[in-house]
Structure 1
Amino acid sequence: MKAQDARSLGLARWSVAVGLGVFGIKWLAWELTGSVAIYSDALESIVNIVAAVGALVALAVAVRPADATHPFGHTKAEYFSAVAEGALILFAAFEMLRAAWGRFLHPQPFTEPALGLGLVALAGGITAGWAFLLLAQGRRVRSPALVADAQHLLTDVASTVGVLFGASLAWQLGWWWLDPLVAAGVALNILVVGLRLVRRSVGGLMDEALPPDQVARIQRTIEKNLDGALEYHDLRTRASGPRAFVEFHLVVPATMTVEEAHAITDRLERALEEALPGAETVIHVEPESEAKHGGWRA
């Protein structure tokens, strides 16, 4: 197993442990206060745990090497984790809205508000610290599953801050109807995040092209290293988990030998690997009779 893959799996295991700890703290805070806003925040932590477990399973599958039935590897398994997380977020959002409506119809004061809100603040601080660490490491190892988990955790932190503010205001002013309104706000916020997460993950499963900035970097790299060739065209890109795939047609002079054309493709592949670490490049060499009017010419 590569060091990068081992690091990803280690981070995923820690996410499960952190999620369980944070959920326990928030659940205790809900038991102490009876706040439906804190209940909503605790529900989101359950989603964090399930998502972390899903990411761990997906990463364990994704690191398996290519085989006869999966010649391109198993990296797309990570997208299934991200899709599942998005679906869980949507489910939690609707449950939060249901609970908030019931409490809006029948408001009630908090019990042990100071201790409960202090516990929520502690849980939020732990989540924030882990989310930023996970986001940085997830981007470093180019793992969609870890990045998705970190982004959801950051949403959880924002929700926790809103819950603390709204619940504190309700407690200090006695506006108990504010508690379910805050819960509804949390639900709507994560509803939007869940929809975005599902959309991005489905895009990966559907072989969506790489982001425009990466495509532009690929184009610049090819154009800079095209010496000896005539043009390139039909550039196509896609991502599969942490791996990027690049494919294009390279037009060379009709008099060029196979060895000379091979040397150019080697140079281009090395340059693209440096520009986009982990990228797998496929270059289809063509004679100049196949040149296209819309191709980029050297």
Structure 2
Amino acid sequence: SPLQAEQLGTKRLEPSSAKSLLDIGTRKIFSSDHDIFRASARRFFQEEVLPFHAEWEKDGQVSRELWEKAGQQGLLGVAIAEKHGGIGADILSSAVVWEEQMYVNCTGPGFSLHSDIVMPYIANYGSEEQIKHFIPKMVAGKCIGAIAMTEPGAGSDLQGIRTYAKKDGNDWILNGSKVFITNGWMSDVVIVVAVTNREARSPAHGISLFLVENGTKGFIKGRKLNKIGLKAQDTAELFFEDVRLPASALLGKENKGFYYLMAELPQERLLIADMALASCEFMFEETRNYVKQRKAFGKTVAHLQ
């Protein structure tokens, strides 16, 4: 509980008082349980990710085996409720995973997007059948998730998307394209944001979400994109050409997709900010260690500043 966390946190150091910003046991928002989980996550990233990351950067993707190992380690779906098949921990436990990945400077695994962006949509808005079908497999790392919002002509402005799903009896026919989709190449299921009512009084009132599984006829994965960074992260173009989807592929209610996106985006932005901060902490410590060891003109660089 928050009270227990506060009580446990009274004896904890703030990072500014610790030997290193990466020390386990700092920050009063975390508890001893978080510390135990952090130690486990840190060991996983140091042993299962760091030694192989350079090779994955050449491949443009991580291995599927890594995803299943992460599932076995309990690092996926951490904050998803147990009743849905998740781990049932809190958002701070999810933050531990985000941060520890950044502390090894390995950006390839798309665990955070999979666990804390894609899965909450299914857990919060999905039907019982959708939850049972996807969540346990996603927690196990056997089903990789992605979300397809960005298009060549629409990114931050979600009301400008052109991908369109038209009703055909009880089915939907999906057409359009998406770009810069994280986990796109390896994805087994993609949440696709599409217009479903072109006559809506505003674009926000005519957007829906669909679950599109890999292998669905007309769902085409384009090339993995070459990027200046995040090279081991499989970022892809996705194309939808007359993709026929059953009514059961609709995630949540028809034309409510924009509201679901607005409800979930704040946590997604928090995730990105925390990962960016953790990455900065890692680079700060790398720099500090370097200037303490590197010698020039008979002194360490730190003594010349």
Same fold? TM cut 0.5: no
Which band: TM-score by shorter chain?
under 0.3
**Structure having the larger proportion of residues in helix:** 1
State the structure with bigger RCO (CA 8 A, min sep 6), 1 or 2: 1
TM-score w.r.t. the length of structure 1 is 0.25
Which of 1 and 2 has greater Rg?
1
TM-score w.r.t. the length of structure 2 is 0.24
**Structure having the larger proportion of residues in strand:** 2
